[in-house]
Amino acid sequence: MKKLIATLMATLLVSGAYAQDAVKFAEHKKMVLAEMEKAISLIQTEKSCVESAADHAAIQKCRESAKSEREKLHSERKQLRAQKIDEQMKKLQEEKTKLETEKKN
């Protein structure tokens, strides 16, 4: 009976972890696709600008503008990564505090 209960609990834990992983995957996939859409949009904007350029100076302005936009996008991604790391660190610190409290009791 104990083995059956242990097996059922393990199965529930694994299926719960799998469901959580599936949710994380879906969120990650959504984020990656959104980033790709932003990149595609930037390229399309640059292409339109270059197509309408009348001379080399206009093309150069298109390239500089596109570079500036790419740098903004890169900065946003970097900020999001830092924010995610901060959230993970906070969560780990909370878990550590919880475990230390349980250990004392």
What is the pTM for the complete model shown?
Answer: 0.63
Which tokens belong to 96?
Answer: 């550590």
What's the CA gap between 89 and 95, in Å, rounded? 10
Neighbours of 61 (CB within 10 A): 14
Per the CB < 8 A criterion, the answer to whether 47 and 65 are in contact is no
Question: Would you list the domain boundaries of the chain?
Answer: 2-104
pLDDT in tens, 15-39: 555 567 888 899 999 999 999 999 9
Q: What is the average pLDDT value for the chain, to the nearest integer?
A: 87
Per the CB < 8 A criterion, the answer to whether 36 and 57 are in contact is no
- Mean pLDDT over 36-65 rounds to 96
pLDDT at 20: 72
C-alpha angle with apex 63: 62 to 68, nearest 5 degrees?
100
